[in-house]
Structure 1
Amino acid sequence: MSTAEFVVVANRLPVDRGADGEFKHSPGGLVAALEPVMKRTDGAWVGWAGQPDLTLDPFEFDGMLLVPVALSADDVELYYEGMSNDTFWPLYHDVISPPRYRRLWWETYVEVNRRFAEAAASVVSEGGTVWVQDYQLQLVPKMLRELRPDLTIGYFHHIPFPAYGLYSQLPWRKQVLEGLMGADVIGFQRVADAGNFTRSIRRLFHYETRASGIRIPQEDGSTRVALAKAFPISIDVDAYVELARRPEVQARAAEIRESLGNPKRILLGVDRLDYTKGIRHRLKAFGELLHDERVNVEDVTLVQVASPSRERVEAYMQLRDEIELTVGRINGDFDTMGHTAIRYLHQGYPREEMVALYLAADVMLVTALRDGMNLVAKEYVASRIDNRGVLVLSEFAGAADELGMALRVNPHDIGSLKDTIERAITMPGAEQGRRMRSLRRRVIENDVDAWSRSFLDALARVRADSRAQGTR
């Protein structure tokens, strides 16, 4: 098998396998973020192909070497649905839903992480660079360092990292931190997340942390310095701008408005169906606005896209039932023959349709209770080439650190959320333009290329420093 100088390791490969056995690009945010980097570097991507009990040899796809890691049905249940999404996900999102701790889940998580590390070690060139992605693979950096001490290793954490008071619940808290400290650069979405991580290191290991550096003692008596800091992720802005300019996409946006009865204002929510996204809070606020007659169903419609997510995890099944019951009640109370209060869409859509929705929507509602970044907020801003539209943004989303001209809101405060939605609906065009131009400047300047360059530049500096000091 050929080797690559640059290797990405992620839970999923950047492709989906259709019923005909053919592969096509998968639509996820991580893929969109990393694809430009992969094409620039002719790199390799290690990940699961998305189907249990599927064993595939490495293969070429669109200029990338893809290295599949096989997962059994038990692996998917225990490592992915269990440890990753029923333990780490709720714990790292401030215990919005109670995390569950199962020793069998952890044992499988360790074994699967080792499989990913071994696959990456087998494909990366001597002295190469490996970039590990996200919470499903937190043990891989240390395992890789043990297998291949010649490598430069980066890790990026796409979700929040919790304060020590919450993180300390984890029975395997030291093992996870040791796994992450195997990386030369550990990246987070927000400064606060990097701070939570380094405070946990100090509490549990008493290592010295100065600025963004963590001084990690080595077995030979030397000290290795790992960098832990914020690298806020972004989107491929040009792709959204290009779609927003297409006449057929603009025509589709007009069709969407027409199909909704041409209301004066369209509110839009776009989320995975997840309890961290604040969908229930958004629906409650909108329902109360209708009940209080502060908005009228003939003038204002909410479109809620809730793409399917983790449908075999109990908490997600309960959430879907609750949201669909709420939507049904609100629509039953307020729909007319010609207008629907909430158009609820439990499905995913291609990027072209999403951009048409962004163009059709007067107000974008991002009411996450906790979110590492939230790229939907940035996609909406990038798509608004007319410099119109209003972004209502939760202060608990990572994007709030960057998008200061959005209408920020605490989604737990339903009264304030109602007031903010009403303000967004009635905002004059001049104020919309002033805010949106500022938001667009920020998103355009800090696009996905800027994100990847900043992270990889930090990795290169660490590599150069360690070679100068003779530690690698």
Structure 2
Amino acid sequence: MRITLRLVLAIVTTVSVIVVAFTLLQVRQERQRQMGDLERRTALLAESLGETVEPLVGQGHSARLQRIVEKFGNRERLAGVAVYDTKGLPLAVTQTLVAHVATAPKSVIEAIAADRETGDVITIGDKLMYVYVLPLRPEAQIAGALTLFHDANYIQHRLRQIWQTNFLRLLVQALLISLTALFVIRWTLIGSIARMAEWIKRLRKGEVVDASSLSRKDLLNPLATEVTHLAKSLSAAKAAAEEIKLRQGGEALWTPRSLKEHLRSKLQGRPIFLISNREPYIHVKRGKQIDCLVPASGLVTALEPVLAACEGTWIAHGSGDADSLVVDDADRLRVPPAEPKYTLRRVWLTKAEEKGYYYGFANEGLWPLCHIAHTRPVFRADDWQYYRDVNDKFAQVTLTELEGVEEPCVLIQDYHFALLPRLIKERRPDARVGIFWHIPWPNPESFGICPWQRELLHGMLGADLIGFHIQFHCNNFLETVDRVLESRIEWEHFAVRRGNSTTYVKPFPISIAFLDDSAVPGEGTVEPRSKDALLMEFGVRAHYLAVGVDRLDYTKGLLERLRGIERFLEKYPKFQGEFTFVEVGAPSRTHIKQYQDLIAAIEAESDRINWRFQNGNWKPILLLKRHHTSKEIRLFYKAADVCLVTSLHDGMNLVAKEFVAAREDEQGVLILSRFTGASRELCDALIVNPYDIEEIADAIYAALNMAKGEQAVRMRRMRDIVRERNVYRWAADLITDLVQVRVEESQASIAGIRKPR
């Protein structure tokens, strides 16, 4: 396909160059011809009209002059006539031109001064005009000038017609030549290349394929023989490397390649089905073009390697305005666009469903309920019904995708689909079903305010495995189940037994893809920039730079953070004029009133603190309220002295890990809320209570005064943790446990311990 595209591109480019070159020559000749004709006609008319006008100039016959110019000013393509005195002041002007040439154009002044006829093309108003100036000498002495204004737009129109005509010829020629070339290629090469590609694909998957499977007459048969020998050598080397790694105790870091090999052995060729609200690729309209965007999402970053490793299917809400234009008849699409590795199955929701299920029950109900950020959850019966309907819609789509797959592996993501595990399990009891809850799970008393807590727990317990970020959230979940539902909790195994089913509850701390080379995928290498250079883009100077990177969400503790910075500047005034905090804030869920009010409050608090302290070209707070690319964010990570992560409650918070991963210089200090999952792993951060304004202020002071050596020791230990416990290890642990849970239960069933489902 690439060779074909190159050939077609070469043909189109060659034909285009030829057509453009000849068109340029044709346009140039046509312009010269048209302009020459216009100049001749204008000169003749000016000479004829000048004999009538010349005796009247300087004689006070303004009315008569005006009648003459009005009479001649309405001829075809003649936009108007004007008579000027020697100073460039108008003696008579065609009425339609008065507003534009009340003052003589520059070319008229120059012609009068030089006492010679001139012609020039200028723009008057929104029109292209050819201006011809004829000096008037009633008594052998120059007394003014007659100026004719010819509309020259018809010339440009004629030239555009030439371009359009030649462009159409170009398309026809390129199409005919390309089709001919493609036919020849298809007849002679494509068939052989397709057979060769399929043969190599089977070889790459580990299948035993001999070169004799290709036709002896195939053009690529000699190459196939050599590739066979190469594949055998690589397979042997790979097996030896895997054996060495196993003997070393598996100390190597997890990578996309090792994850792929691991999942291949665990899943034994079976695909995995992943379900989330957010899709990994969004198609949007940009005029007549369709762009493919990757949403800024930690969930996407964490889960795409899993799908790419095992040729799975990602089922998600199709939210882009062009999503429906690029899928097939079954609403499927192969992604990534550049190198398809798995299938994206889109589910369509109405505006009412999205409002009720996503913005309503999920984000106005479950989100504040689970985060305990003192924002009151809102529960509406209509939203609950939409939540149930959307979960049922996703269940129907998933069951359709599972048809024909034995013992499928289904991994459901987040609080949007609490009912989905049960809906799938009831129809496909042979499926391995897991759900990962990306946000915290509150204590039983807090969760108990939800009117539909029993239904939510019953739905989740349809899963074989439920994952949270930390053990504390697992404990809260088990205690909630123990209080709400009739069940048996096996605390030694962290499992819930209800009837003939068992659900295991385990922690899986999510992480990031640690990049030692500082390369951001798809955005090139991130070159460090000084904090002075970054701040000067916003007209700010400061010696110390602190950064916060958050969605503008009430769980992130942004107002408390700003007040902590204010208290820091009050308590340690020597940093006034020296310290600037940059909040890289992405607007989020702006359809919801609480978020609109929060953004307004953050802006008001930033303005108040800045008004109180700012001086000259320094201010303490810089609020960047827009979506930033990963590359832009890493620039701030690399330049900052301090990174503030002060969430009031968070499942993990990957910003903390992103900051650590970005600091290859092993400098900088992380101030981290003790209510984040990340605080359990990154113990070398300065751990704070985000509600304690004094503690935040003192932590900032301690961070700015920390010795470089201590910074390096702390950062090195945190980087080792993030590198070792990366997202690939998280995915491997989660899928492995999901597969093993079902294997253990199958063995128990065979032994007669439990009845089969």
Q: Same fold (TM over 0.5)?
A: yes
Partner of residue 61, structure 1: 335
What pairs with 1:25-104 in structure 2 (closer than 5 Å)?
A: 25-51=294-320, 55=324, 57-62=331-336, 63-104=341-382
Partner of residue 581, structure 2: 302
* 2:590 counterpart of 1:311: yes
Asked which structure has the greater RCO (Cα within 8 Å, sep 6+), the reply is 1
For residues 736 and 350 of structure 2, what CA distance do their matches in structure 1 show? 37
Partner of residue 198, structure 1: 478
Partner of residue 173, structure 1: 453
Structure 1 residue 130, shift from structure 2 partner: 0.6
* 2:563 counterpart of 1:284: yes
For residues 496 and 658 of structure 2, what CA distance do their matches in structure 1 show? 38
2:498 to 217, 221, 225: 217
Structure 1 residue 126, shift from structure 2 partner: 2.3
For residues 304 and 75 of structure 1, what CA distance do their matches in structure 2 show? 33
For residues 517 and 531 of structure 2, what CA distance do their matches in structure 1 show? 14
Partner of residue 16, structure 1: 282
SS at match of 1:19: strand
For residues 562 and 393 of structure 2, what CA distance do their matches in structure 1 show? 42
List alignment gaps of at least 5 residues for structure 1: none
Equivalent AA in structure 2 for residue 217 of structure 1: R
For residues 427 and 60 of structure 1, what CA distance do their matches in structure 2 show? 50
- Structure 1-normalised TM-score? 0.94
Instruction: Summarize deviations over 1:98-119 as a string: whole Å, max 9, x none.
Output: 0011111101100001111111
Instruction: Summarize deviations over 1:140-175 as a string: whole Å, max 9, x none.
Output: 100010121121001000000010010111110111
Equivalent AA in structure 1 for residue 374 of structure 2: I
For residues 240 and 99 of structure 1, what CA distance do their matches in structure 2 show? 43
* 2:423 counterpart of 1:143: yes
1:227 to 504, 511, 520: 504
Question: Against the structure 1 CA distance between its residues 381 and 168, is the aligned structure 2 distance closer, same or farther, given a 3 Å change threshold?
Answer: same
For residues 160 and 32 of structure 1, what CA distance do their matches in structure 2 show? 20
* 2:688 counterpart of 1:409: yes
For residues 743 and 525 of structure 2, what CA distance do their matches in structure 1 show? 48
- Structure 2-normalised TM-score? 0.59
For residues 264 and 95 of structure 1, what CA distance do their matches in structure 2 show? 34
| Higher Rg of the two aligned structures | 2
Partner of residue 241, structure 1: 518
Question: Against the structure 1 CA distance between its residues 248 and 70, is the aligned structure 2 distance closer, same or farther, given a 3 Å change threshold?
Answer: closer
C-alpha RMSD of matched pairs (Å): 2.1
1:358 to 624, 630, 637: 637
Structure 1 residue 52, shift from structure 2 partner: 7.8
Partner of residue 154, structure 1: 434
For residues 479 and 626 of structure 2, what CA distance do their matches in structure 1 show? 40
Question: Against the structure 1 CA distance between its residues 96 and 41, is the aligned structure 2 distance closer, same or farther, given a 3 Å change threshold?
Answer: same
1:455 to 717, 734, 740: 734
Structure 1 residue 293, shift from structure 2 partner: 4.3
* 2:663 counterpart of 1:394: no
Contact in 1 for aligned 2:271/2:409 (Cα 8 Å): yes
SS at match of 2:515: helix
Equivalent AA in structure 2 for residue 89 of structure 1: W
Structure 1 residue 243, shift from structure 2 partner: 4.3
Count of aligned pairs: 466
Contact in 2 for aligned 1:96/1:275 (Cα 8 Å): no
2:414 to 134, 155, 176: 134
Contact in 1 for aligned 2:283/2:322 (Cα 8 Å): no
For residues 585 and 516 of structure 2, what CA distance do their matches in structure 1 show? 23
SS at match of 1:45: strand
SS at match of 2:565: helix
Structure 1 residue 53, shift from structure 2 partner: 11
Contact in 2 for aligned 1:187/1:229 (Cα 8 Å): yes
What pairs with 1:100-119 in structure 2 (closer than 5 Å)?
A: 100-119=378-397
Equivalent AA in structure 1 for residue 513 of structure 2: D
What pairs with 1:300-339 in structure 2 (closer than 5 Å)?
A: 300-339=579-618
Higher helix fraction (1 or 2): 2
Contact in 1 for aligned 2:514/2:661 (Cα 8 Å): yes
Partner of residue 250, structure 1: 528
For residues 16 and 352 of structure 1, what CA distance do their matches in structure 2 show? 20
For residues 259 and 111 of structure 1, what CA distance do their matches in structure 2 show? 49
For structure 1, which segment, 439-448 or 47-56, has the greater mean C-alpha deviation from structure 2 after superposition?
47-56
Structure 1 residue 240, shift from structure 2 partner: 7.3
Partner of residue 553, structure 2: 274
For residues 326 and 342 of structure 1, what CA distance do their matches in structure 2 show? 10
SS at match of 2:575: coil
Structure 1 residue 54, shift from structure 2 partner: 6.7
SS at match of 2:385: helix
For residues 666 and 524 of structure 2, what CA distance do their matches in structure 1 show? 16
Structure 1 residue 203, shift from structure 2 partner: 1.0
Equivalent AA in structure 1 for residue 507 of structure 2: A
Question: Against the structure 1 CA distance between its residues 58 and 442, is the aligned structure 2 distance closer, same or farther, given a 3 Å change threshold?
Answer: same
Contact in 2 for aligned 1:249/1:355 (Cα 8 Å): no
Equivalent AA in structure 2 for residue 216 of structure 1: R
Contact in 1 for aligned 2:283/2:321 (Cα 8 Å): no
For residues 166 and 372 of structure 1, what CA distance do their matches in structure 2 show? 16
For structure 1, which segment, 241-250 or 199-208, has the greater mean C-alpha deviation from structure 2 after superposition?
241-250
Structure 1 residue 405, shift from structure 2 partner: 0.7
Instruction: Summarize deviations over 1:19-68 as a string: whole Å, max 9, x none.
Output: 23332322211000011111111111001122489755111111221111
SS at match of 2:651: coil
Contact in 2 for aligned 1:52/1:72 (Cα 8 Å): no
What pairs with 1:341-356 in structure 2 (closer than 5 Å)?
A: 341-356=620-635
Question: Against the structure 1 CA distance between its residues 53 and 360, is the aligned structure 2 distance closer, same or farther, given a 3 Å change threshold?
Answer: closer
Equivalent AA in structure 1 for residue 275 of structure 2: V
SS at match of 1:396: coil
For residues 82 and 376 of structure 1, what CA distance do their matches in structure 2 show? 26
For residues 411 and 133 of structure 1, what CA distance do their matches in structure 2 show? 28
For residues 253 and 14 of structure 1, what CA distance do their matches in structure 2 show? 33
Question: Against the structure 1 CA distance between its residues 13 and 243, is the aligned structure 2 distance closer, same or farther, given a 3 Å change threshold?
Answer: closer
Contact in 1 for aligned 2:514/2:723 (Cα 8 Å): yes
Equivalent AA in structure 1 for residue 598 of structure 2: L
SS at match of 2:408: strand
For residues 531 and 730 of structure 2, what CA distance do their matches in structure 1 show? 30
Question: Against the structure 1 CA distance between its residues 191 and 240, is the aligned structure 2 distance closer, same or farther, given a 3 Å change threshold?
Answer: farther
Equivalent AA in structure 2 for residue 427 of structure 1: M
Structure 1 residue 423, shift from structure 2 partner: 0.6
For residues 195 and 156 of structure 1, what CA distance do their matches in structure 2 show? 15
SS at match of 1:18: strand
For residues 462 and 293 of structure 1, what CA distance do their matches in structure 2 show? 55
Contact in 2 for aligned 1:93/1:276 (Cα 8 Å): yes
Contact in 1 for aligned 2:365/2:377 (Cα 8 Å): yes
Question: Against the structure 1 CA distance between its residues 323 and 276, is the aligned structure 2 distance closer, same or farther, given a 3 Å change threshold?
Answer: same
For residues 427 and 517 of structure 2, what CA distance do their matches in structure 1 show? 40
List alignment gaps of at least 5 residues for structure 2: 1-268, 750-755
For residues 286 and 27 of structure 1, what CA distance do their matches in structure 2 show? 28
For residues 512 and 525 of structure 2, what CA distance do their matches in structure 1 show? 22
Instruction: Summarize deviations over 1:408-458 as a string: whole Å, max 9, x none.
Output: 000111111111111111111011011101111111111001111111111
